[in-house]
Structure 1
Amino acid sequence: MRADFYLIQKPRFREEPLLLVCELARKAQQAGQACIVLARDAAQAEKLDDLLWSFDPDAFIPHQIVDPDMEEGDDEEIEVLIATPEHDVALRPLVINLRDAAVDGAFERVLEVVPADDSARGPLRQRWVQYKDRGFTLNKHDM
């Protein structure tokens, strides 16, 4: 298993960190990997949903926020699934984690977005240690 930490550095991502999530989702789509984004809350999920439609006029990334009325199997066609904490859904091999805790469950790779704000980086340092203790291969990327 692998955990990649994306440290926000570029002004574009500092102004809108969810743009980095859009870029990561596009890379996953281009690699043919369906992914799940674990949003912190419904407001963040809605904002990400809007950005995925508008961040690049030439990109189309099939995505959907998890809907409690979705039937089993409905999400298989959706390349990027956005889940809020109140909806329990199966993880996919690739997880983009925006929540405040390390991801537990069955997956192959987790992408953690690290804010530019130093005060927000402390918990992510703890998460690094948690993944390391669980035997993950760890990588850091300056974005």
Structure 2
Amino acid sequence: MTGIEFHFNAPSRLDYACRLLRKAALRGARVAVTGAPATLQELDTALWTFSATDFVPHCSASAPAEVLALTPVVLCEQPTRSPHHAVLLNLGEGVPEGFERFERLIEVVTLDEDDRLRARERWKHYKARGYALERKDLELKEGR
């Protein structure tokens, strides 16, 4: 069954996603990232610019198969189109279609009240279906 983590209190969804994806790529993880087209475009730009010394290899799900096979981070509107099935990072507002195909799902939740309300709905959705949920409070982690 998919392990689901909610990472709460991210000051910026894109900044946090960039740091998380850098860490995952350095560890050799294969990650699919899902969200709205505009969000994925913003993330694509951010991954090129968030650090002057780091590069996070990434591509869109529409890339050729040989590129997808070699790239650790795949940006996809539909997670079912990703060749990776280890980790799914959800930057969207709703429950991602096909999330259960992944070993792990990470939900990033910002300080914005509307975002928190949508996250509560996703939490209820997963909980009602019997998924074990893990809460990670980024505010507490960064305050140490």
Alignment TM-score, normalising by the size of structure 2? 0.81
Displacement, 1:134? Answer: 2.8
Q: What residue in structure 1 maps to residue 53 of structure 2?
A: 58
On the 8 A contact 1:8/1:17 being kept in 2, the answer is no
1:53-108 per-position Cα deviation (integer Å, ceiling 9, x unaligned): 111222121011232xx3334301111111125x8613521000011221342001
Q: What residue in structure 1 maps to residue 91 of structure 2?
A: 98
Question: Is 1:4 the counterpart of 2:5 in the alignment?
Answer: yes
Question: Is 1:80 the counterpart of 2:76 in the alignment?
Answer: no
Question: Is 1:89 the counterpart of 2:81 in the alignment?
Answer: yes
List gaps (5 residues or longer) in structure 1: none
In 1: Cα distance, 2:42 partner to 2:97 partner:
25
Q: What residue in structure 2 maps to residue 109 of structure 1?
A: 104
Query: How many residues were matched structurally?
Result: 134
In 2: Cα distance, 1:135 partner to 1:58 partner:
42
Q: What residue in structure 1 maps to residue 120 of structure 2?
A: 125
Aligned counterpart for 1:33 among listed residues 11, 26, 29: 29
In 1: Cα distance, 2:107 partner to 2:117 partner:
13
Relative to structure 1, the CA distance from residue 81 to residue 119 in structure 2 (aligned partners, 3 Å threshold; closer, same or farther) is same
In 2: Cα distance, 1:118 partner to 1:133 partner:
23
In 1: Cα distance, 2:55 partner to 2:67 partner:
19
Which secondary structure does the structure 1 equivalent of 2:64 belong to?
coil
On the 8 A contact 1:101/1:127 being kept in 2, the answer is yes
In 2: Cα distance, 1:56 partner to 1:71 partner:
27
In 2: Cα distance, 1:117 partner to 1:19 partner:
15
In 2: Cα distance, 1:134 partner to 1:76 partner:
32
On the 8 A contact 2:80/2:97 being kept in 1, the answer is no
Q: What RMSD over aligned residues (CA atoms) do the two structures have, in Å?
A: 2.0
